[in-house]
Amino acid sequence: MNYEVFIPHNSSFINSTMSFTDQLAQYLISGITQGSIYALIALGFVTIYNVTGIINFSQGEFAVIGAFIAITAAQKVLLFQGQVTVGLEWPLPVAILAGVAGAVLVGVLLYRLGIQPARHASPLSQIVATIGASIALRGLVLLAWGTDPYRLPPFTAGKPLKLLGAVLTRQGVWVMGLAAVAVVGLYLFFQYTLIGKALRASSANPGAARLMGINTRRMGLIAFALSAGLGALGGIVIAPVTFMTYDRGLMLALKGFVAMIMGGLTNPFGAVVGGLTLGIVESLAAGLISSGYKDAFAFAVLFLVLLVRLGGLIKRGSGEALERAGL
């Protein structure tokens, strides 16, 4: 089965009786829902990039792994071509926590085994190494869960809501809400906790941070753990909306990266704005121009942003922009 068959979720509420403005509202809502996920993944990118200077191409795999672990913890699942049966059936909140924790563990292992030993390697080697990690993780998920699509039950049952003549599913509310909570939480964390301040210090000036007794390697580890958790949260919260398949990680990572660039590379709030914008552009373009080329629009946007104006939509990540953004 191909998950793309199910993606038309974006337009599944569209029917011929809707007025054009209602349709637009529907595309907008779908776009914001999808964009929230891109925003979460872009936040993960920004966190890792700011602290370690690495673009982690395996970012999308965190979302996939988190979602698959949560799905396995929440319902009966056959693994390894039916050779292993897992029937934990934990309550949903526990399963979600398990998914996030599992992805964080993967993120920590990735940093320790793959990233940290390569910190003096050339950027080209680092890029290729994280691509390798992404492919290996994708293969592991394929080995365990196979090619079938999986989905989580919606977090809360009930009828979808009506908003401006468009339909908003309850899970859509969860997606937007959790993304908003994550952004605010991240801001508070970076602004007001000691670890958050230490992370900011190691990104602003690693040498000085070390002199102040900050263990910058530990900070890299925390950045990977944090962004793995963010990615997993995104994957889990979208799993009831669209089916999760083993091969979605790379595309999610690419979209998250586009969002990050749109937001000016180092700016967490920019990343969120970039993610939402990308989601809306994609949803509108898929609905109004061509749904078959949905994934191509993100790259059209990428090329446009990269080639016309390398600074991103929001001002280039100068030191001043960093301070304003609280990172």
Applying CB under 8 A, which residues contact another protein?
A: 55, 57, 80-83, 114, 117-118, 121-129, 131-140, 142-143, 146-147, 250-251, 254, 257-258, 261, 290, 292-293, 295-296, 298-299, 302-303, 306-307, 310
Which CB, 53 or 165, lies closer to another protein?
A: 53
Q: How far is the CB of 115 from another protein (least distance, A)?
A: 8
Task: Kindly list the distances between the CA atom of residue 248 and the CA atoms of 7, 10, 83, 195, 300, in Å, as whole numbers in the listed order.
Answer: 12, 17, 24, 32, 19
Task: For strands 166-168 and 161-163, give the pairing.
Answer: antiparallel
Which CB, 34 or 134, lies closer to another protein?
A: 134
Which CB, 133 or 273, lies closer to another protein?
A: 133
Q: How far is the CB of 83 from another protein (least distance, A)?
A: 7
Query: How far from each other are the two terminal CA atoms of the chain, in whole angstroms?
Result: 42
Q: How far is the CB of 120 from another protein (least distance, A)?
A: 10
The CA distance from 37 to 278, in Å, is: 11
At what angle are helices 170-192 and 20-52 packed, to 10 degrees? 30
Q: Quick count: other Cβ atoms within 10 Å of Cβ 258?
A: 27
Quick one: the chain helix, strand, coil %, rounded to 5?
70, 5, 25
Which CB, 110 or 222, lies closer to another protein?
A: 110
The CA distance from 231 to 288, in Å, is: 29
Which CB, 78 or 163, lies closer to another protein?
A: 78
Q: How far is the CB of 125 from another protein (least distance, A)?
A: 4
